[in-house]
Amino acid sequence: MVKSRSLLLALVGFFVLLGLRVFPVYLNHFKVLSHLKEITKTPEAHTLSKEEILATLEKRFAIDNVDYIDVKKDVEVKIDKKAKKVTIMVPYEVRVNFIENIYIVVDFAETQIEVAEK
């Protein structure tokens, strides 16, 4: 009885610690997605230059305290003048220390959004 109780407590503790380490990473990712979606809602988004998009994202990320992303290094902007479409990609990876030398790696390689003329 005591052994099963201590095992249960250890498992609960393990998953609580896991949640405490991973939750901020996903909260941060939802902030990134939110800002990307907000850019698509602006009517002139497809006419912005690469520098303007990066500056806008950098300001938004700074205001909302987005971690793990360096806009100048991690954000890729592709502008297709013919299709009047802008693709913003934010592929990034987060490494969070779990216990001692054990890390949790979360890969957000598919983070992208397209902005087209409306």
Residue 53 has a pLDDT of 92
The stretches of the chain forming alpha helices (DSSP H) are: 2-41, 50-63, 71-74
3-state secondary structure of 110: coil
- For 33, 47, 86, 113, the CA distances from 40, given in Å and listed in that order, are 11, 11, 10, 8
Chain-centre distance of CA 13, in angstroms?
27
Task: Walk along the chain (118 residues) and give the pLDDT tens digit of each residue.
Answer: 778 899 999 999 999 999 999 999 999 999 999 999 998 888 888 788 999 999 999 999 999 999 999 999 999 999 888 888 899 999 999 999 999 999 999 999 988 998 887 6
Residue 118 has a pLDDT of 66
Number of domains in the chain: 1
Residue 40 has a pLDDT of 86
- Terminal-to-terminal C-alpha distance of the chain: 65
Residue 23 has a pLDDT of 97
Which residues span the domain enclosing 50?
A: 2-116
* Dist. CA 53–CA 102, nearest whole Å: 37
* Dist. CA 58–CA 42, nearest whole Å: 16
